[in-house]
Amino acid sequence: MNPQPYLQLDRVIHEKGRLAIMSMLAASAELSFTEMRDALGMTDGNLTTHIRALQQEGYVSVAKSYQNRRPLTTCSLTPAGRRAFTQYIDLLEKIVRQNKSE
């Protein structure tokens, strides 16, 4: 077995909740906080913590605005986040292939 793909997995993306968030964002230009929270069944606190970790890593950008006078928070992947996520999924694919062939 080649241990490289395992060692290279990005720790920030690898966490289950953040992996789900990154996958959702990768499929859209942007998503609102509430859309993500409801789709993922996360608490506000849990989603906030994960988004903050992804933001600190430079993977996600957060924009605050208003819609019908109510505050609206939207998230999107940064170019660095999209690159890191593509790399991560490529590594997962290697890991799946390695384990399916053995």
**Binding stretches for its own copies (CB under 8 A):** 1, 3, 6-7, 9, 11, 14, 16-17, 19-20, 23-24, 26-27, 39-41, 85, 89, 92-93, 95-96, 98-100, 102
Long-range contacts from 88-91, C-beta under 8 angstroms, 24+ separation: 88/9, 88/10, 88/13, 88/14, 88/19, 88/22, 91/5, 91/8, 91/9
Q: Distance between alpha carbon 30 and the CA centroid of its chain, in Å?
A: 12
Q: In the complex, what is the shortest distance from the CB of residue 2 to its own copies, in angstroms, rounded to a whole number?
A: 9
Identity of the residue, 16 or 64, whose beta carbon is nearer to its own copies in the bound complex: 16
Identity of the residue, 6 or 44, whose beta carbon is nearer to its own copies in the bound complex: 6
